Amino acid sequence: MTALEFPLGLLRAIVVAFGLIWGSFLNVVIYRLPLDLSVVFPPSHCPGCGAPVRAYDNIPVLSFLVLRGRARCCGMRLSARYPVVEALGGALSFAVFEVLVRNEPVLGRALAIYGADLAFCLGLVAAAFIDAEHMYLPDSITIGGVVLGLGTCSLRGMGFYEALLGTVAGFVGVWLPFIVMYRWVRGVPGMGLGDAKLVALAGAWFGVLGAVVVLFAGAVQGTLAALVLYATRGNLEEPKAVREDREALERAAALGDDDARKALADDPLGTAPEPGLLRARLPFGPFLVLACLEFLFLGAWFRGRYFGLFF
Ligand SMILES: [Zn+2]
């Protein structure tokens, strides 16, 4: 039995609905993971007044449109991030099915590829939004993703040692030049350990070549975005939550809290950023995530076009 023996329209509808529901769960992950809260308990409640969200008000994308972006309970304006993340879940689920699964003849293998690649995509989306807001990439996503990538490498036609080599190369390729060596020269690291783990995740999924392409494509797109933002706004501000967290620690440290003082000293984000484009603090995670998704969906085409002679 192959996936194509089901009516294609029905399969597509199921795949999109499934992705939308996961997108809805991703909103919970993006909100709660950086706050160290459980992602499964308690069930969703209104960020404004704390009232539980009713099931019919929790339909992905649709509820937001019907309620015109306001909570039914207290009328609080809801972030556009909610429907955007839900729609991304639906779109990525559809893309995984269309690009990576549809032509797989063995049903069990098709399901395994769908599950693994969708989990990869969803984890990446959560990581991108969390990093954009907090400049922090949770280990549960990056290291968890590496473990899943190593365990499922055969689904991508890769051997275990190839995937392991990609993981190590991805990590060391960021850690050595951009953290260790950069710190010798400039006194501060140029990237975070979370970025190194995210490139390691790309290596676990795509091998050494994929990790190199993801790092390069992420850097190019991040630089372009920084230039465009700088040109249009005149400055690049660090994310609001990062500044607020630091200011809260600084107040605690000023009142004699030694733990807060130590946390500030250990944190690369513990001092206010210096002005100027080259010193700007731009989260790199979202651009690495973008590059990972591009490689996932366009990688085969890219390899055929540019590396066909060598691989
Ligand atoms: Zn409310």
294 shares its domain with 155: yes
Q: Assess whether pLDDT exceeds 70 at residue 15.
A: yes
Considering only the C-alpha atoms of the chain, give the largest distance between any 2 of them, rounded to a whole number of Å: 68
Distance (Å) from CA 76 to ligand 1 centroid = 6
Distance (Å) from CA 77 to ligand 1 centroid = 9
Place 2 in a pLDDT band, splitting at 50, 70 and 90. low
**Rounded to an integer, what distance in angstroms lies between the CA atom of residue 129 and that of residue 125?**
6
**Rounded to an integer, what distance in angstroms lies between the CA atom of residue 98 and that of residue 95?**
5
The predicted structure's pLDDT at residue 90 = 98
Q: Which amino acid is at 267?
A: D
71 shares its domain with 194: no
b (16+ CB within 10 A) / e for 92-118: bbbbbbebbbbebeeeeebebbbebbb
The pTM of the whole model exceeds 0.85: yes
The predicted structure's pLDDT at residue 147 = 98
Distance (Å) from CA 63 to ligand 1 centroid = 14
Which residues have CB under 8 Å from 131's CB, separation 6+? 137, 194, 283, 284, 285, 286, 289
Distance (Å) from CA 56 to ligand 1 centroid = 15
106 shares its domain with 169: no
The mean per-residue pLDDT over the stretch 175-182 comes to: 91
Question: How many domains, in total, are found in the chain?
Answer: 2
Which residues have CB under 8 Å from 24's CB, separation 6+? 58, 60, 86, 89
The mean per-residue pLDDT over the stretch 18-33 comes to: 95
Place 122 in a pLDDT band, splitting at 50, 70 and 90. very high
The mean per-residue pLDDT over the stretch 262-285 comes to: 78
The answer to the question of residue 277 being in a domain is: yes
Q: Assess whether pLDDT exceeds 70 at residue 278.
A: no
* 81 membership: H or E segment, kind and range: helix 81-95
Domain boundary among 96, 113, 134: 134
Percent above pLDDT 90 for the chain:
60
Mean residue pLDDT across the chain: 90
The predicted structure's pLDDT at residue 268 = 73
The mean per-residue pLDDT over the stretch 148-156 comes to: 96
Q: Assess whether pLDDT exceeds 60 at residue 1.
A: no
**Rounded to an integer, what distance in angstroms lies between the CA atom of residue 171 and that of residue 193?**
9
184 shares its domain with 290: yes
Span 185-211, pLDDT tens digits? 888 888 889 999 999 999 999 999 999
153 shares its domain with 43: no
208 shares its domain with 165: yes
204 shares its domain with 301: yes
Domain holding 197, by residue range, is 138-238+273-311
Distance (Å) from CA 241 to ligand 1 centroid = 22
Place 282 in a pLDDT band, splitting at 50, 70 and 90. confident
Distance (Å) from CA 69 to ligand 1 centroid = 12
The mean per-residue pLDDT over the stretch 10-25 comes to: 96
Domain boundary among 106, 134, 162: 134
Distance (Å) from CA 58 to ligand 1 centroid = 13
165 shares its domain with 299: yes
Query: How many other C-beta atoms can be found within 10 angstroms of the C-beta atom of residue 153?
Result: 23
The predicted structure's pLDDT at residue 311 = 45
The answer to the question of residue 198 being in a domain is: yes
